[in-house]
Every structure is written in C-alpha cells, then in structure tokens.
Amino acid sequence: MKIAGVSDSAANAESLPLHYVAKTWWPLAASWLLMALEMPALSAVIARLPDAEIHLAAYGGVVFQLALIIESPIIMLLAASTALSKEWASYRRLYRFMMTAGALLTALHLLITLTPLYSLVVEGLIGAPKEIIAPARLGLLVMTPWTWSIAYRRFNQGVLIRFGHSQTVGVGTLVRLSANLVVLWIGYNLGQALGAQRVPGILVGTAAVAAGVMSEAMYVGWVVRPILRHEVRLAPTAEPALTWRAFFAFYIPLVMTSLLTLIANPIGSAALSRMPESLASLATWPVVTGLIFMLRSMGVAYNEVVVALLDQRGAYRSLKRFAELLSALTTGLLFLVAATPLSALWFERVSALPPFLAHLARSGLWLALPLPALSVLQSWYQGALLYGRRTRGVSESVVVYLLVVAALLIAGATWGGAIGLYVGLAAMSASMAAQTAWLAWRAAPVLAEIRRRDD
C-alpha cells in the first residue's frame, strides 16, 4: 500500500530520507496554517465592526469554547482514520460511527443553544459577563452545522492521508478559508452599510466559520470518491479484521484526550471572567491565541506524519531530526514577532485592536514563547503512542495538562493580582510543558522498540 506520499523505493530503503518527511508534512502544515488564519481573519473583521470588544469576547469566551467541547468526541477522527482506514471494511465501520456521532452531537448542540441549559452553562458555569450572553447565543445557533461538517471532513481527510493524497488536504483548507473570507467580506460591508444592530459582528464571524467548514466538507467528500473506488475498495483485507471492540479500545482514550483537553477552554473562560480586566482579557484571548496557533499549527500537523511514517524502516532518526528542526524554527518565528515591531503591526494594524488591548496582546506573547516547540514535541511523542496503539498514555497526559492548568487558573482567580490574559497564557505554557513531559515518559518504550528495529 502507498503510505502518505512515500514512494515504494523509499519504503524499501534502509533509512527514510529527511526530504520524504518534509514531503509528507508540508501539505498538512499548509492545511493547518491556512485553517489557523481563520481566527485572525475573523477577529480582524469583528474588531472593525461596532461593539467589537463585546462580540470578540462572545466568540472567544463562549461560542468557540462550547463548539469545541461539543465536537470533542469527533476531533480525533483524523488520527483514527489515518491509522485504521486501511481497507473497505474498516472504512465502512468508521463511516457508520462518524455519521452517528455527528448526528447525536449536532442534536446536543441545539439542545444547549435552544433550552435553559444555555443559561446554566454560560451564566452559571462560565460566569460570562452579561454583555456577551445574548450575542453568544446567536453565534452558537449559527454554528449548528460545525460539528457534523468537521466529523465528515476529518474522517475523510484521514483516508486521503493514509492512501498518499495529503496534498488534497491543503487544497480543502484553501477552499474553507476562501469561503470564510467571502462571507467575512460580505458581512463587513453589510455591517458598514446597515450598522451593528442589523449585522452584529458575532453573526458575521460565526456565519463565516459555518460556511467555511461546510465548504471544506463538501470538497473533501468530492475528492475522496475516486480514492474510495480505486484504492480503498481494492486494498487487501485487514488481518485481523477491525471489530467494534478493537475500534473503541483504540478510540475511547482519544475521545477522552480531546474532551479533557477542551474542558480547559471553558475553565479558562470562567477563570478569566473572574480576574482583573475580564472583558479585555476575553476579547484579546482569541486574537493572541489565534496568532500563536498559526505557529503551533506547523507542529500540530506533525502528528499525522509520525503516525503514517513510523512503520517505515529508518524513520526514527529522520522523524526525530525533523521534530528538532521544526521546534527551533517555530520558536524562532514567535520570538521574532514578540521582539520586533511585527507584534505591533499584527495587533494594531492587522487585528485592529484598540491601544490597550494591543498592549495586552503584545506583552502576553512572551508568556507563550514555549508553545510552538511544545506542540511539535507533543506530536512526536503522541504519534509514537498512536503508532504503538498505546493511546491510554495520550489520555493520561491530558489529565496531567488539565490538573496543572486548572490549578494555576484557580490560583490566579483566587489571588486576583494579575490580569487574566497573562495568567491564562502562563498557565497554558506550564500545563503543556507538564503534558509533554508525561508523553515523553509514556512514549519512551515505543520509541526504544523502533530504534532497535532501525539499528
């Protein structure tokens, strides 16, 4: 079988050349980077519409966080599909799971948005400022197609990666970003013409996000058809066959991983809501984390590369070396932005933040300096655990992350002596460092086995 763009000659070689790793990685990195541009583009448009602080806080503090929590059971479908969709029977089993999960989670999304559960969650648990409660509810309603579209897209992207068509993943993300920008452009011009009361920023932003994910899902569904017909159907039958028991043993720890990771987001929103400069911190948070995620995305994309290539002889040295180079590159880029006028250019001119919010954002970047490298290392260790089918270690690492971040956020809210944005970024860096250390410990036996294989 052709794996992730690696030629037969490379697969049979004694070692995997570094350029084959780069060849597999760059389309996925381009995809994640394009996707990461979504938040800065959205923030830049909302910031230029009336009541920007309220609508940025509504999206970053409530809508985006709750949408991520609801979709958490299907986030890991990309990794699962990459690892398990090796032939037609396995594909069909995963497809049935994806469609069922998408329907049930969409129903949950509507249940929270349209019933008194919304007040319980947003006002009671998150403690959101009163100004953002109504706009956030409107945004959540517009975001209804988000979960099912992402489930369908990530599942089929895994098939494309598994069968060596990772370049189409990047094209799909370009389709998504294009749809985003078109809706943002239309919404911005309508907002300028009609005013915020008729076209509020939260409506413009969430409509763009919904249009983007639906467009990408339709594109991926179209391009995967010939691969299913000519490659997946003709692939050798897996031995042993993938059973529901085997699938859930593999996937449930991944679900717990994504769920526990994303629980930190509403905890963060709740903590920031209870610290000094709460509205400013909630408004600035999506802008700062959006920029950071643009650099982190290159490391996040490395996870599927590790999963797809570790079974190639000689892969260990090349993959480890690539992780080291990528860590240095992404950290250097964030340092360059933080230490030069590029940060002012981004936050003041591109993102159009008011002076005080721009100052908060620029100062906060220094607290996030370790995050790009930590994302690369996490993908390296987590990919090894997925390759070795030891997904429990991934879930354990997220428990470590959640405990550390919750402890630091609670301490910050109790103390009340620091601006919420700074506490949130510092807590994120410290908790990701603890999570990475745990992953390194749990992945050590798998990596040792791979090193022995390659020697």
Specify whether the CB–CB gap between 117 and 63 falls below 8 A: no
Q: Report the helix count and the strand count for the chain, using DSSP H and E.
A: 21, 0
What's the CA gap between 351 and 230, in Å, rounded?
A: 45
Residue whose C-alpha is closest to residue 330's, from 362, 283, 378: 378
Indicate the number of domains in the chain.
1
With respect to residue 209, please indicate whether it lies within any of the assigned structural domains.
yes
> What pLDDT is attached to residue 195?
60
Q: pTM for this structure?
A: 0.72
Specify whether the CB–CB gap between 309 and 21 falls below 8 A: yes
Specify whether the CB–CB gap between 241 and 88 falls below 8 A: no
- Which pair of structure tokens corresponds to residue 162? 């598994």
- Per the structure, the complete domain to which residue 225 belongs is given by 8-454
With respect to residue 42, please indicate whether it lies within any of the assigned structural domains.
yes
Residue whose C-alpha is closest to residue 235's, from 87, 92, 93: 87
Q: Is 194 exposed, middle or buried (0-12, 13-18, 19+ CB in 10 A)?
A: exposed
> What pLDDT is attached to residue 235?
87
Residue whose C-alpha is closest to residue 83's, from 401, 390, 433, 439: 390
What's the CA gap between 160 and 137, in Å, rounded?
A: 36
The backbone torsions φ and ψ at residue 115, rounded to the nearest 5 degrees and listed phi first, read: -125, 175
**335-359 pLDDT per residue, tens:** 999 999 999 999 998 888 889 999 9
With respect to residue 29, please indicate whether it lies within any of the assigned structural domains.
yes
With respect to residue 22, please indicate whether it lies within any of the assigned structural domains.
yes
With respect to residue 376, please indicate whether it lies within any of the assigned structural domains.
yes
With respect to residue 2, please indicate whether it lies within any of the assigned structural domains.
no
Specify whether the CB–CB gap between 112 and 123 falls below 8 A: no
Q: How is residue 197 annotated by DSSP?
A: T
> What pLDDT is attached to residue 220?
95
Rg (CA), the chain: 21
CB atoms within 10 A of CB 93: 18
Q: Which long-range contacts (CB under 8 A, 24 or more apart) does 229-237 make?
A: 231/163, 232/85, 232/87, 232/88, 232/91, 232/159, 232/163, 233/88, 235/1, 235/86, 235/87, 235/88, 236/1, 236/87, 237/87, 237/89
What's the CA gap between 365 and 292, in Å, rounded?
A: 8
> What pLDDT is attached to residue 9?
40
Q: Could you please report the per-residue DSSP string of 317-366?
A: HHHHHHHHHHHHHHHHHHHHHHHSTHHHIIIIIIS---HHHHHHHHHHGG
What's the CA gap between 21 and 26, in Å, rounded?
A: 9
Which residues in the chain show pLDDT less than 50? 1-13
With respect to residue 90, please indicate whether it lies within any of the assigned structural domains.
yes
> What pLDDT is attached to residue 14?
55
- Which pair of structure tokens corresponds to residue 433? 């460092």
With respect to residue 1, please indicate whether it lies within any of the assigned structural domains.
no
Q: Could you please report the per-residue DSSP string of 97-124?
A: HHHHHHHHHHHHHHHHHHSTHHHIIIII
Strand partners, 3: 6
Residue whose C-alpha is closest to residue 268's, from 393, 107, 404: 404
> What pLDDT is attached to residue 200?
86
> Under 8 Å CB-to-CB from 265, ≥6 apart: which residues?
64, 65, 68, 69
What's the CA gap between 214 and 123, in Å, rounded?
A: 30
> What pLDDT is attached to residue 197?
57
